[in-house]
Amino acid sequence: MKRLQALGSGVAAAALAVAGLGAAATVGAGQASGATAASTALGSQWYAAAPYLMPTDNNPPDATAIMDATGLKAFQLAFILAPNGGGCTPTWSGTSAVSSDTAVGGVISAIRAKGGDVSVSIGGYGGTKLGQACSDAASTAAAYQQVINKYQLKAMDFDLEEPEYENTAAVAHEIGAAKILQQNNPGLYISVTTAGTAAGTGWFGQQMLNEAKSQGFTPNNFSIMPFDGGFNGAAAQTAALTAFNGLLKTTFGWDTATAYAHEGFSGMNGRSDAGEYFYQADFQTVLDYATSHGMARFTFWSLNRDRQCTPPDNQTTSGTCSSVPQSDWEFAKFSVKFAGATPPTNPPTTPPTTPPTSPGGGGTCTAAQWSASAVYTGGNEVAHNGHLWKAKWWTTNEEPGTTGQWGVWQDEGAC
């Protein structure tokens, strides 16, 4: 639910240096390189399996090295936002105009030169989304069409999160834009990703589904992110996926199989923003659930995090490593399996079976338990789900562990 956009930030030039792209980074403004122009769409299952990658932030890894190590062919590049200074034009992370980009274009060219492809994700957690900045669905779609044209895209992800998905008009603009793009770009693969809860998704997620139904829009899949909401491990995630299947059925009138065929999973590898832990075994369990139920998508946040922290750190959440024991790109191999391919065999890493204990933890929480009806002010501490939380400002009925890194509750660790 909460995408770690701000951790370990980098710059576009650094991304190119990390990726070792050299001459591939010569994509000029408004035009594609030869590799981009000559690209051929992958099968839809690869777009459905594409993990998220920030190509210019969070210490971006070499995408082509990941392809060599895992067999992965598709990447979900994140995120397209409105300009930080305002306006209805697409940028990377609010700062780098798509129209003049060469950095991300170089990454795309390198991926395509090795037989892969990309989807581009719009939105994410935080920042100003184009659905908020643009005046209507048509202008929102026109902004996204610039991205499609620039990179000759065959897939796009609408990642509808806070604060945009709480804005009824913005959600209507995004869903309307997605429908227009679907009509104007035949065969365009579209996923819609939103927050996950134990009930499948929350009030705002249901509002988004209702908007899609009212506009007569059906994407390739609706995906939920079952993390940062009191989840821990695969059992809680598969339960949420089952619940979400029920919401899809009641909203659209689908039977169970049809709902699963339009349902996706977007996980978070390792330690989440809220201190939940998702190990390799959890990913395998959810993968088995997804494939056995005929689900339409299996992805995760993020490839930037798909490596062990150096030095090992299991007590904090990072945008550049997973905070769990692993070899590089272990989680990417689950996406490869979902796409129907067989990843190379590497020596397995045996993860711990229980989350680590925070320094100073191990006892019971001494602070009062959080109450949905109570009012808290800045500095107040509460206990919730085995963690100590401190309010940054006035709040009521906002559950600790669901507000993310930039929300009202600060996670002070296990207790």
pLDDT of residue 225: 98
pLDDT of residue 405: 63
Give the start-to-end residue ranges of the domains of the chain: 12-338, 375-414
Dist. CA 239–CA 403, nearest whole Å: 21
pLDDT of residue 24: 34
Q: What is the pLDDT of residues 237-274, one digit of tens each?
A: 999 999 999 999 999 999 999 999 999 999 999 999 99
- Per-residue pLDDT for 309 more than 60? yes
Q: What is the pLDDT of residues 208-244, one digit of tens each?
A: 999 999 999 999 999 999 999 999 899 999 999 999 9
Q: Which residue has the higher pLDDT, 101 or 315?
A: 101
Q: Is 407 helix (H, G, I), strand (E, B) or coil?
A: coil
pLDDT of residue 147: 98
pTM: 0.79
CB atoms within 10 A of CB 341: 16
Residue 161 falls in the annotated catalytic set: yes
pLDDT band at 29 (very low <50, low <70, confident <90, very high): very low
Task: Please report which helix (H) or strand (E) contains residue 243, including its range.
Answer: helix 234-252
Helix segments in 253-368, DSSP class H:
256-260, 280-292, 332-338
CATH architecture of the domain formed by 12-338: Alpha-Beta Barrel (3.20)
Which range has the worst mean pLDDT, 12-16, 316-320, 403-407? Answer: 12-16
Catalytic residue among 161, 162, 164, 330: 161
pLDDT band at 401 (very low <50, low <70, confident <90, very high): confident
Distance between start and end Cα atoms, the chain:
24
Q: 266 exposed, middle or buried (CB, 10 Å; 0-12, 13-18, 19+)?
A: buried
pLDDT of residue 3: 54
- The CATH superfamily holding the domain 375-414 is Carbohydrate-binding module superfamily 5/12 (2.10.10.20)
